[in-house]
Amino acid sequence: MIPRRVHLIGIGGIGLSAIARVLLARGVQVSGSDLRASPITDGLEKLGANISVGHRAENVGDVDLVLVTSAALADNPEIVEARRRGIRIGKRYDFFPELTAGKTAIAIAGTHGKTTTTGMIATILVDAGLDPDVIVGGIIPELSGNARAGKGKYFVIEADEYDRAFLGLRPTIAVVTSIEMDHPDIFADEDAMAQVFREFIARIPRDGLLVGCGDSERVARELQYAAAPIVRYGFEPDNNWRATDVRLNADGGSDFTVWNGEKRSGDFSLRVPGKHNVLNALAALVVVDRVGIDLSRARETLARFRGAARRFEVKGEFRGVTVIDDYAHHPSEIRATLAAARMRYPGRVIWAVFQPHTYSRTRALLNDFASAFGDADHVIVTEVFAAREREARGVSGKQIVEQMEHPDARFIAMLDASTEFLARHLHAGDVLITLGAGDVYRVGEAVAQRLQGE
């Protein structure tokens, strides 16, 4: 039974805001707080949520449940007040069983690719008239946000490994796109990461389905722990579903052929670039085929799919300079994004501006970051975006540059200084890509404004 009144601490975050949107659509009285107003909180307010800027005890009204972001500290005044009054307090994973009750859950997990794959599956189900509930960790233009409430049987949900949140789910169908070391503030090493994915995989029932990327050695290793039937997808010939003949198309995306075993399922096209997105689309096709959607209908949706916001988001061309923003904040994501850029813009000069995200990740993956920029001609690394962390502990973006063997890489700590440098050095025909989960997108926006003003 969904509580009638819910307060969300950190409601402006991508995860809790999605839950808030679903609750509002179901008629729940929603309130919430965050450190600052944003387009996300403004949108929730328009939908009927009572939003407070800043965290104060009096923000907690007469509510039945308080949901708390993983980034909140125990001494948050609203948590303290809720505890004093005996109000139930929980995190996302505590609430998932209630939120998805009565629905067939389709959960998409993985260190990379889960947002785009979730968006693809959700959009195909919506276009097919199945009216799903959706929670996704990014803004999907086709969904007009990061969530929707539906009256259909399916609940499509991005399954986030951070803080082990996805262990609150019991999906009937699950996808695992990748397993790599990340979130060193939570997991000690890749084996610890893999262990929590193993626990997630074990939650899929015997009459369900596990869809895993067979090209990933670590995913393939963990699939053996599943009780559910397994479908492997990828480019390699030993997968159950395969994509072959991948080639660049006129939209800057990829055309490819899909095979289900020895059966040729047809040719497909994407607007979103990169071979990693071909894999995401392949995972989506396995899932929608399982729920009975004709692949010809899925083909039409995928051909129109614009991708999630901040996932290779082309901001435009300004005096001949193409500006792109991407959320990539892990070495593998950076490599995939830059490879996609090199494929889409052959022969053009690529500038990459990277803002490391969290001190713990920067320290743990320092050498991997240093080797991730081979497809960029010029690299700027800024200072670390601290996010939820408070102590730098001697970690700096400068250390990444010091470890690099790139022919043109430099450390420019501040975003404004990076903008000034780029404004002096960019030329018509160049491609500028901002990379990171913080506010590095401001560099691209500022450069675009400067170029437009010239």
What is the radius of gyration, based on Cα positions, of the chain? 22
Q: Is 158 a catalytic residue?
A: yes
Q: Which of 91, 100, 111, 114 is catalytic?
A: 114
Cβ-Cβ contacts under 8 Å for 224 (sequence gap 6 or more): none
Which of 411, 333, 331 is CA-nearest to residue 364?
331
Which of 224, 222, 229 is CA-nearest to residue 207?
229
Per the structure block, which two tokens stand in for 431?
């491609």
Give SS3 for 50: strand
Burial 352-376 (b: 16+ CB within 10 A, else e): bbbbbbbbbbbbbbbebbbebbebb
Sign of CA dihedral 245, 247, 250, 254: positive
Q: Is 115 a catalytic residue?
A: yes
Give SS3 for 39: helix
Q: How far apart are CA 69 and CA 16, in angstroms?
A: 7
Sheet holding 5-9, edge to edge: 50-53, 29-34, 5-9, 65-68, 88-90
Residue with tokens 């893999």: 194
Q: Which of 41, 115, 117, 358 is catalytic?
A: 115
Q: Is 114 a catalytic residue?
A: yes
Per the structure block, which two tokens stand in for 323?
């500006």
Q: Which of 78, 91, 158, 180 is catalytic?
A: 158
Neighbouring CB atoms inside 10 A of 76's CB total: 19
Q: How far apart are CA 308 and CA 327, in angstroms?
A: 10
In what helix (H) or strand (E) does residue 173 lie, and over which residues does it extend?
strand 173-176
Count CA atoms within 13 Å of residue 233 on its CB side.
24
Greatest Cα-to-Cα distance within the chain, rounded to the nearest angstrom: 63
Torsion of CA 364, 370, 374, 380, to 10 degrees: 110
Q: 300 with 269: CB under 8 angstroms?
A: no
Residues serving a catalytic function are: 114-115, 158
